[in-house]
Structure 1
Amino acid sequence: MGCPWVMTRLDLDRICAARPLINPVFLGTPFSMCEPLGERLGCEVGVKLETANPVRSFKGRGTELVVEGLAGASVVCASAGNLGQALAWSGGRRGLGVTVVASRFATPAKLERIRALGARLELVDGDHELARERAAAIAASDGIRLLEDSLDLETCEGAATIGLELVESGIPFDVVLIALGGGAMATGVGQVLKELAPGVEVVCVQPAGAPALTLSWRERRLITTETIETIADGVAGRRPIPEVLADLLVIADDAVLVREESIVAGMRLLFEQAGLIVEPSAALGVAAVLEDPDRFAGRRVATIICGSNVDLTAHRRWVSP
């Protein structure tokens, strides 16, 4: 079924087999053309909406696969907020013990929702990389499953089911813009498109204030950064995972960086032209078009709205004229 030249860790047969294991509440998300948004951007824009589910992000597709084989066990993860909510939801429905480690500087709305979903939340006085280290330490000391987003194949292949739905939508498109953080969604969706729709250009988008994986892709070697400065907390990592970079080098046609002001402008356009309240990470695709309109002019572009867990006070400030 797959194409042997697409040599990554991911497997199209496993991705197709994953769908029956994922709760239907995360599947079949809307994908439609948004004419008002396209008119403002100078191209045709299709919006794949991954926010109309209990955790308001695409992460539940992956956590459903993770918990499928963990009957009666416990699991820990580090999260900027969305993965933690998804794991709490998926694990809680199956009676699993879920621990989430996050930065105490994470979006408060995300942290509150993790607690509300029943997970044990531990906060660290540092960024997401410190949370990753603490989660690994808990897993080792307690002898429980460590879920590592983007490294664990379930997170990538769960996200890849978005790609299956894009291909099956019947809406042809020339390029897909994918928010790039840890890389699960980019590698997953990109894998499916390279195998089933190889003519589609796969463009990953990352904030200029959190550029580590994009810089690594460009240099074809791991590059870490010392600091992060972006409102797009959902994609704010400093240390790329080697296995993810290897996959990304196979499936990504390009990786671009966008400015903070473009992310804010993208959020405003999605609110004004599509009626969508999104978190900054979900506006990266629109930001990419805003920064390079000639590249996308007249083309049919798909962008994945990957999450809407946003502090509403901050959102009102960002989208206000």
Structure 2
Amino acid sequence: MGTRLDMGRIRAARAVIDPVFLDSPLYRCDALWDKLGCAVSVKLETANPVRSFKGRGAELVASRLAADGGTAMVCASAGNLGQALAWSGRRRGLDVTVVARRGAPAVKLERIRAFGADLELVDGDFEVARAAAARLAREREVRLVEDSLDIETCEGAATIGLELAGSVSGGDAVLIALGGGAMATGVGHVVKTLAPGVEVICVQPLGAPAMTLSWRARRVVTTDTMDTIADGVAGRFPIPEVLDDLLQVADDAVLVREESIVAGMRMLLEDAGLVAEPSAALGVAAVLEDPGRFAGRHVVTIVCGSNTSIS
């Protein structure tokens, strides 16, 4: 079985994405090495205007929509994609509407509005917002942006892999937060293409395990509920096409407890000086829960977002 991702398009994406999102810092963090018992490199995807990796994919979506003569788009978002599309859309004169759950983190909702998007709030979880966004796009006859299903979101995220592939080698591990799958499939595809001996490990909260359960079963597994602090990766209905891509590139998918996620956030703040939202701490959480697996190895963790309150 093949994959929807294409290395030629991924390399070409760097010419489309605003440089403010490219070449994010990648460095060894000795403080984490001392605490975790392995050589930890951090790929910092928060030093940009939207404070997350989502700007890469949003740039591809917005640029292609504008080139095709489109004027508006709608998306469902846990917060970060909405910010990114609002930022990229405003630069290109596109109207952006973001549908989010009413209980989403206030800092994310405030920044969506600040970037000029219209914000529609719904009661319920992310899957309710996703259904509402689809209805709204049909009614308005505008572009529906579906994170992870739309290949631009995956191939935009895949440019992260181009930037880190030269810094990893056989026996190393790359830990990737797993939600809808855009970052995991994108980065995983590039790493497995350019550095096949590197282990690609996806990490998801135990309270929102649908994609991990699907990867393990090799078929879509849905869940009735989800309960996790890591709102950015919380979903109940995996997308079949994305699961097919993930099955080609992930060596493992692991689930971590809430207390490990919180401990990971605290460690990144106190020992690395990094503000990380819960989803961005999943890689550290995975090492905390299984230190023997990573002892003495070189591990890369992607700090993928910092849209959180530290109060």
Interval containing the TM-score (normalised by the shorter chain): over 0.9
One-letter amino acid of the structure 1 residue matched with residue 77 of structure 2: S
User: Which residue number in structure 1 is paired with residue 37 of structure 2?
Assistant: 42
User: Which residue number in structure 1 is paired with residue 134 of structure 2?
Assistant: 136
Cα-to-partner distance string for 1:175-234 (whole Å, 9 max, x where unaligned): 000000000000000000111000000000000000000000001111111111100000
Determine helix, strand or coil for the equivalent of 2:57: helix
Structure-to-structure mapping, 1:122-271, within 5 angstroms: 122-168=120-166, 170=167, 172=169, 174-271=172-269
Q: Using the TM superposition, give the Cα deviation of residue 311 of structure 1 relative to its aligned residue in structure 2, in angstroms.
A: 2.0
Cα-to-partner distance string for 1:26-77 (whole Å, 9 max, x where unaligned): 0000000001101100100000000000000000000000011222510000
Distance of 2:268 and 2:185 partners within structure 1 = 25
Contact 2:168 2:195 in 1 (8 A): no
Distance of 1:303 and 1:106 partners within structure 2 = 25
One-letter amino acid of the structure 1 residue matched with residue 49 of structure 2: P
Cα-to-partner distance string for 1:116-142 (whole Å, 9 max, x where unaligned): 100000000111001000110011111
Distance of 2:82 and 2:310 partners within structure 1 = 20
Distance of 2:269 and 2:73 partners within structure 1 = 36
Distance of 1:70 and 1:49 partners within structure 2 = 28
- Consecutive unaligned residues of structure 2, counting only runs of 5 or more, are none
User: Which residue number in structure 2 is paired with residue 51 of structure 1?
Assistant: 46
One-letter amino acid of the structure 1 residue matched with residue 114 of structure 2: A
Cα-to-partner distance string for 1:280-314 (whole Å, 9 max, x where unaligned): 0000000000000000000000000000000232x
Q: Using the TM superposition, give the Cα deviation of residue 272 of structure 1 relative to its aligned residue in structure 2, in angstroms.
A: 1.2
User: Which residue number in structure 2 is paired with residue 102 of structure 1?
Assistant: 100
User: Which residue number in structure 1 is paired with residue 60 of structure 2?
Assistant: 65
- In the alignment, structure 1 residue 307 sits paired with structure 2 residue 305: yes
Contact 2:177 2:283 in 1 (8 A): yes
User: Which residue number in structure 2 is paired with residue 317 of structure 1?
Assistant: none
Distance of 1:33 and 1:257 partners within structure 2 = 25
- Aligned counterpart for 2:77 among listed residues 76, 79, 85: 79
Distance of 1:248 and 1:138 partners within structure 2 = 29
One-letter amino acid of the structure 2 residue matched with residue 29 of structure 1: S
Q: Using the TM superposition, give the Cα deviation of residue 167 of structure 1 relative to its aligned residue in structure 2, in angstroms.
A: 1.4
Determine helix, strand or coil for the equivalent of 2:183: helix
Distance of 2:49 and 2:11 partners within structure 1 = 23
User: Which residue number in structure 2 is paired with residue 10 of structure 1?
Assistant: 5
User: Which residue number in structure 1 is paired with residue 14 of structure 2?
Assistant: 19
One-letter amino acid of the structure 2 residue matched with residue 30 of structure 1: P
- In the alignment, structure 1 residue 30 sits paired with structure 2 residue 25: yes
Determine helix, strand or coil for the equivalent of 1:301: strand
Determine helix, strand or coil for the equivalent of 2:305: coil
Distance of 1:49 and 1:7 partners within structure 2 = 30
Distance of 1:11 and 1:87 partners within structure 2 = 22
Distance of 1:144 and 1:194 partners within structure 2 = 36
Q: Using the TM superposition, give the Cα deviation of residue 171 of structure 1 relative to its aligned residue in structure 2, in angstroms.
A: 5.3
Q: Stretches of 4+ moved more than 2 A in 1?
A: 170-173
Contact 2:168 2:198 in 1 (8 A): no
- Identity, % of aligned pairs? 72
Distance of 1:40 and 1:118 partners within structure 2 = 42
Determine helix, strand or coil for the equivalent of 2:14: helix
One-letter amino acid of the structure 2 residue matched with residue 38 of structure 1: W
Cα-to-partner distance string for 1:56-108 (whole Å, 9 max, x where unaligned): 00000000000112225100000000000000000011110000000000000
Determine helix, strand or coil for the equivalent of 2:65: coil
One-letter amino acid of the structure 1 residue matched with residue 150 of structure 2: D
Distance of 1:70 and 1:152 partners within structure 2 = 12
One-letter amino acid of the structure 2 residue matched with residue 65 of structure 1: L
